Amino acid sequence: MFPPASEAFTRMESCARSVFAGYGFAELRTPLLEHTELFCRSIGEETDVVAKEMFTFADRKDRSLTLRPEATAGVMRALIDDGCLAREAMSRFFTFGPMFRYERPQKGRMRQFHQINAECLGSDSPFVDAELIDMLLRYLGVLGIVDVILKLNSLGCAMCRPNYRTALSAYFGRIEQGVLCPDCLRRAAVNPLRVLDCKQSCCRAATQNAPKFIEYHCDSCARHFATVRDALRGRSFEIDHRLVRGLDYYCRTTFEVTSAAVGAQSAIAGGGRYDGLARSLGGPDVPGVGFACGMERMALLLPKAPVSRPDFYLLAMDAELLMQSFVFVRHLRENGLRGICDVSQGSFKNRMRQAGKSEARFCLIIGSDEAADATVTVKTLDSGEQARISQACAAQYMGAAS
């Protein structure tokens, strides 16, 4: 990844650090490799991620390891191992880094892709859900990513989900044979919610009138989802009854942020509540909610950043002048200027051509005359104007000219 793509990723990371810190989040770094069992237990063995997309292999001791396909499970494992969830009432962390899924590469989707994740653990309050969504939307806004759509749904809890699964299974049982794709025929039997997540047109058409989860909420889940919606008043959103996400650990609030500008893979961020995940991994029974942003997809939507030009490109006319030039350049950098010291000894014409290609604002030239009286010739590359000034005043001169 070369500039400007690498610069866009740095920009997204820097912005996340700034915005998320305002909500009390700290940065956590987790390994690329985890034991395979972690993802099977947390994501769900019937999900496409575990069944089809993970890069899994045996190490030298025949232990099954997997390159992380998502961040939340690894974050949870780290917090459990550290004891953080038992010590702290609330834990707020964000992470950056590469994830790995064996998928068909396409625009905005790579087999090694990058995510920004945020995880908040310790409270089941709907206001925490709303605050996390608000933080995500603020982050996208600060980046300049606009014209996005926030989609919401609620997947209920252990009390109301069995009734919904029964209704959904009954609905799928009435669909004619051969209508659903082979994957969804299997999903309908073992994990019917996954059918709603299928992108095949035949399955989407067949499930158009499927029961809606919101109609099966228990009183507690209904109040929780109503409060989330009320807390997001002022934010534009739509209810998407198909939104079940691709991972089994979600419950109650789920959400996605989409944009038509990135093509078929329209989701640029998404997440939800995962109460019970920590307990299922051997930790304390701590509720949690989080989200992930796809950095490749966000990069497609970033406004073009202004070009950051070097301040100077310095030429020493003779090899004997390199030491003085080197010391002078150090002085410029200590005064906040950025630039390049050309130590090559090619023709003056070729070196001036390189100065132009660098897009620096000034070309600085030190020849024998300049070295003798501690001056430097400063040429403004945009206008061609030049002046000979004291080296001691060069930093101030270039700063004032900017």
Q: Is residue 283 part of a domain?
A: yes
| Average pLDDT over every residue of 312-331 | 92
* Domain CATH code at residue 73: 3.30.930.10
Let me know whether 258 and 395 are in one domain.
Answer: no
pLDDT band at 46 (very low <50, low <70, confident <90, very high): low
Band of residue 108 on the pLDDT scale cut at 50, 70, 90: low
Kindly state the average pLDDT of the residues 35-41. 89
If asked whether residues 245 and 110 sit together in one domain, one would say yes
Final residue of a domain: which of 268, 301, 334? 301
- Same domain for 331 and 247: no
Q: In this predicted structure, what is the pLDDT of residue 264?
A: 57
Give the model confidence (pLDDT) of 300-311 as tens digits. Answer: 999 988 778 899
Number of CB atoms found within 10 A of residue 63's CB: 11
Structural domain contains residue 175: no
Whether residue 268 contacts residue 137, with contact meaning beta carbons closer than 8 Å, is answered with no
**Is 371 found in the same domain as 280?**
no
The answer as to whether 198 is a domain residue is: no
- Please tell me the distance from the alpha carbon of residue 80 to that of residue 138, in angstroms, as a whole number: 30
pLDDT tens digits, residue range 252-291?
999 999 988 776 558 899 999 999 888 888 889 999 999 9
Higher pLDDT, 84 or 313: 313
In sign, the C-alpha dihedral spanning 117, 120, 126, 131 is negative
pLDDT, one tens digit per residue, over 383-397 is 999 999 999 999 999
What is the pLDDT at residue 246?
A: 59
Q: Report yes or no on 279 lying in a domain.
A: yes
Q: With a cut of 80, say whether residue 314 has pLDDT above it.
A: yes
Which of 301, 334, 368 is where one domain is finished? 301
Q: Report yes or no on 188 lying in a domain.
A: no
Q: How confident is the prediction for the chain on average, in pLDDT?
A: 89
C-alpha pair distances (Å), 221 with each of 154, 159, 227, 228, 237: 8, 9, 10, 11, 19
- The per-residue pLDDT for 344 is 85
Return the CATH number at 361.
3.40.50.800
Q: What is the pLDDT of residue 402?
A: 61
Alpha helices in 208-347 (DSSP H): 219-231, 277-280, 295-301, 322-334
Would you place residue 247 in the very low, low, confident or very high pLDDT band (cuts 50, 70, 90)? low
Contact assessment for residue 196 and residue 205, using Cβ atoms and an 8 Å cutoff: no
Give mean pLDDT, residues 348-363: 91
Mean pLDDT along residues 36-59: 83
**Per-residue model confidence as pLDDT tens digits over 140-187:** 999 999 889 999 999 999 898 888 888 888 888 888 777 788 878 777
Same domain assignment for residues 14 and 156: yes
Residue ending a domain, among 263, 281, 301, is: 301
Tell me the residue range of the domain where 381 lies.
312-401
Residues 237 and 139 in one domain: yes
pLDDT at 380 over 90: yes
Considering the domain boundaries, does residue 183 fall inside one?
A: no
Domain shared by 274 and 351, yes or no = no
Confidence of residue 401 (pLDDT cuts 50, 70, 90): low
Q: Is residue 207 part of a domain?
A: no
Asked if 169 contacts 184 with a C-beta cutoff of 8 angstroms, the reply is no
If one counts the domains in the chain, the total is: 2
Name the amino acid, one letter, at 120.
Answer: C
- Taking only the tens place, the pLDDT of each residue in 327-342 is 999 999 999 999 999 9
What pLDDT does 265 receive?
58
List C-alpha distances in Å: 398 to 332, 389, 391. 10, 11, 11
Tokens in use for 132?
Answer: 């996390």
Kindly state whether residues 297 and 351 are assigned to the same domain: no
